[in-house]
Amino acid sequence: MSLRCFKCGQEIVPGGTSYIIRITAISNFDGIIEPQEHKDLKSFLKDIEEELKGLPEDLIEEEIFKEKEFILCPRCKEIFLANPFRKELDDLKPPEVIPPP
């Protein structure tokens, strides 16, 4: 089975250089619970349980934790790591001349 770069599709030959990019999304709980009508923890947890009733477990789990993996070639790895969220970089301009080392 041959590997291919997820981004550009280039074949990665056996023994060639490739990178695994692992993205993990974990729900961030800041410790603050919005004030509600709950007088105790048991009633609060019971309400959450009722809200989740009938939802598939994998959907509930994805709201808390999700991980994806991608294989990238060296060039696509560099491009991805330079700007993983593809933010506008208008204020960054390459130099007109690159001096020798």
Domain boundaries, the chain: 3-27+41-82
Mean pLDDT in residue range 73-78:
94
Tens of pLDDT, residues 7-44:
999 999 999 999 999 999 999 988 877 766 667 788 88
Mean pLDDT in residue range 48-71:
93
pLDDT over 80 at 79, yes or no = yes
- Asked if 71 contacts 5 with a C-beta cutoff of 8 angstroms, the reply is yes
Reading phi first (left if > 0) and then psi (alpha if -120 to 50, else beta), residue 15 is in: left
* Of 61 and 95, more confident: 61
